[in-house]
Amino acid sequence: MLFNSAEFIFAFFPITLFGFFWLAGRFGNEVAILWLVIASLFFYGWWDPSYHLIILMSMPCNYFLGRQIYQQQSKLLLIIGIVGNLAVLGYFKYVNFLVINVALLSGSDWSIEKLYYRWQFHFLLSRK
């Protein structure tokens, strides 16, 4: 689902917006925020549900990092959080593009699958 798709404009967005304000008025902000989290997971899973694992792993990390930033007023933690999130985004968005182009330029037969299985095999061998 894209932001400019009919599904988003005429179904997802109005339902999410109505649900947020209805829940906030009836049960409070915490329930309304939980509704937005669930709606966000649905939105990002609409296109490819396999990304839920990435999002579900980054959510608690960002939550606890945000709490630490608030408590310590640390610019260093803020920079670490931003760089970490951009690194995860960059990896999952651009690593395939990078591997394909390096393979084309070097004349090799690299692919993400081959690298991934090689890393998995290395991980299994290095475990004690």
- pLDDT for position 109: 76
The CA-based dihedral angle spanning residues 124, 127, 87, 34, taken in that order and rounded to the nearest 10 degrees: 90
Domain contains 58: no
Domain contains 27: yes
| Greatest Cα-to-Cα distance within the chain, rounded to the nearest angstrom | 62
Domain contains 42: yes
- pLDDT for position 126: 47
pLDDT in tens, 8-42: 899 999 999 999 999 999 999 999 999 999 998 89
Region 54-63: what's the mean pLDDT?
Answer: 88
- pLDDT for position 123: 42
DSSP at 3 = T
Report whether pLDDT(120) > 60.
no
Domain contains 13: yes
Domain contains 78: no
Structural domains of the chain, count = 1
% the chain with pLDDT above 90: 46
- pLDDT for position 124: 41
Q: Indicate left, alpha or beta for 113 from its phi (over 0: left) and psi (-120 to 50: alpha).
A: alpha
For tokens 């990435």, the residue is 54
CB contact set of 112 (below 8 Å; sequence gap of 6+)? 95, 96, 99
The domain of 39 spans 1-47
Report whether pLDDT(121) > 60.
no
Domain contains 86: no
DSSP 24-71: HHHH-HHHHHHHHHHHHHHHHHHH-GGGHHHHHHHHHHHHHHHHHHHH
